[in-house]
C-alpha cells in the first residue's frame, strides 16, 4: 500500500501523510499523525473532495488523468499543488529529466558499443558515432529544461525523437533487417509521450509562478495600506489559528 509524506510548509511543521490501497481505494489522509479524512472508493476520488485544515487552509484531493494515459493524485493546498506531489510541475519536470537521462544513457552505450566491437550488427541497425552526439545533445538540452525550464529545449528533444523514429523505421525497412522495425518505434513513441508531458509541466510551472508572484504582490500591497498597529495584531493572530487540532497531542486537554 503506497504511503507518501508531503510537507505543507517550508518549516515542515505540517506533514501530510497520504496512503491508499490498490487502484486508489480506501485513501486516507493524516496531518501530523492525526486523521484528516478518508475517501473510500475510486469514483469518489475522481469527483474530488475538499478538507479543511484550518481557518485559512483547505486541501483538495482528486484523481486526474493526463493525456488519457497517466493517472495522478492531485493534492492542492489553497489552489496550489502540494510540494513533491504527483501533479506539482517541478515533480513532473524531474520525472521527465529522468526519462531524458535514460534516453541519453542508452544512446551513449549503443554508440560506444558500435565503436568498440568489430561486429557489423550495430551498423546494420543504423547505430554508430552519431548516437554519441545524440546523447550529448540530449544531456545539454535536458539540463536546459531542468535548470531554465526551457520550452525550446523541451520541444527540440521531442522533434529529435520524432525524427529518430522516422529514420529508424525507414532505415530498417530499406535494409530488410530481421528485427521487427515496429518494436524500436513503439519504444521510442512511448518515451516521446513521456517527454510531451514536459511541455505541459513547463506551462503549469510558469502559471504557478505568475500566480504566486501576484499573490505576494497583493499581500505586500495589502500590508502597505494596513496601519502598523493593525499589522502587529494580524501578525500576532497568525500564531493563534482557530484550529490547533493538528498540533495537539493525543489526550491533550
58-73 per-position pLDDT tens digit: 999 999 998 777 899 9
- DSSP readout, 183-243? HHHHHHHHHHHHHHHHHHHHHHHHHHHHHHHHHHHHHHHHHHHS-HHHHHHHHHHTTS-S-
In a domain, 243, yes or no: no
pLDDT tens string 19-33: 999 888 999 999 999
Give me the pLDDT at residue 2, please.
Answer: 78
Predicted model pTM:
0.82
70/114 same-domain check: no
Domain boundary residue among 202, 221, 243? 202
In a domain, 249, yes or no: no
Single out the residue of 16, 150, 1, 159 nearest to residue 77, CA to CA.
Answer: 16
99/82 same-domain check: no
183/140 same-domain check: yes
78/130 same-domain check: no
Q: How many structural domains are present in the chain? A: 2
Give me the pLDDT at residue 234, please.
Answer: 54
Give me the pLDDT at residue 1, please.
Answer: 63
In a domain, 223, yes or no: no
In a domain, 130, yes or no: yes
Interatomic CA distance for residues 213 and 66, integer angstroms: 26
In a domain, 61, yes or no: yes
In a domain, 209, yes or no: no
**Whole-Å CA distances, 132 to 53, 112, 127, 143:** 52, 7, 10, 17
27/109 same-domain check: no
168/100 same-domain check: yes
73/99 same-domain check: no
Burial class of residue 26 (count of CB atoms within 10 Å of its CB; 0-12, 13-18, 19+)? middle
Structural domain that includes position 67: 3-86
Give me the pLDDT at residue 246, please.
Answer: 45
42/122 same-domain check: no
Give me the pLDDT at residue 57, please.
Answer: 94
138/59 same-domain check: no
Interatomic CA distance for residues 150 and 133, integer angstroms: 21
In a domain, 218, yes or no: no
Query: What residues of the chain score a pLDDT lower than 50?
Result: 237, 239-253
Residue that the C-alpha cell 475517501 belongs to: 39
103/198 same-domain check: yes
117/144 same-domain check: yes
Give me the pLDDT at residue 233, please.
Answer: 54
Interatomic CA distance for residues 43 and 128, integer angstroms: 50
Q: What is the phi/psi pair of residue 218, to 5°? A: -65, -40
71/137 same-domain check: no
Amino acid at each position: 500500500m503506497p504511503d507518501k509524506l508531503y510537507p505543507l510548509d517550508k518549516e515542515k511543521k505540517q506533514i501530510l501523510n497520504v496512503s491508499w490501497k490498490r487502484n486508489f481505494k480506501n485513501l486516507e489522509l493524516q496531518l501530523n499523525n492525526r486523521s484528516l479524512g478518508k475517501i473510500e472508493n475510486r469514483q469518489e476520488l475522481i469527483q474530488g473532495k475538499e478538507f479543511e485544515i484550518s481557518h485559512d487552509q483547505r486541501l483538495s484531493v482528486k484523481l486526474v488523468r493526463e493525456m488519457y494515459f497517466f493517472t495522478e493524485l492531485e493534492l492542492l493546498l489553497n489552489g496550489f499543488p502540494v510540494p513533491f506531489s504527483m501533479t506539482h510541475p517541478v515533480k513532473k519536470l524531474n520525472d521527465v529529466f529522468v526519462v531524458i537521462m535514460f534516453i541519453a544513457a542508452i544512446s551513449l552505450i549503443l554508440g560506444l558499443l558500435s565503436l568498440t566491437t568489430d561486429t557489423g550488427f550495430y551498423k546494420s541497425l543504423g547505430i554508430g558515432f552519431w548516437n554519441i552526439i545524440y546523447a550529448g545533445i540530449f544531456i545539454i538540452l535536458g539540463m536546459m529544461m531542468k535548470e531554465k525550464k526551457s520550452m525550446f529545449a523541451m520541444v527540440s528533444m521531442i522533434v529529435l525523437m520524432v525524427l529518430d523514429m522516422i529514420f529508424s523505421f525507414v532505415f530498417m525497412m530499406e535494409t530488410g533487417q530481421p528485427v521487427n522495425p515496429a518494436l524500436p518505434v513503439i519504444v521510442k513513441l512511448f518515451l516521446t509521450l513521456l517527454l510531451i508531458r514536459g511541455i505541459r509541466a513547463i506551462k503549469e510551472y510558469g502559471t504557478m509562478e505568475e500566480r504566486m508572484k501576484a499573490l505576494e504582490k497583493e499581500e505586500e500591497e495589502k500590508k502597505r495600506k494596513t496601519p502598523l498597529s493593525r499589522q502587529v495584531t494580524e501578525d500576532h493572530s497568525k500564531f493563534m489559528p482557530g484550529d490547533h487540532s493538528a498540533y495537539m497531542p493525543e489526550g491533550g486537554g
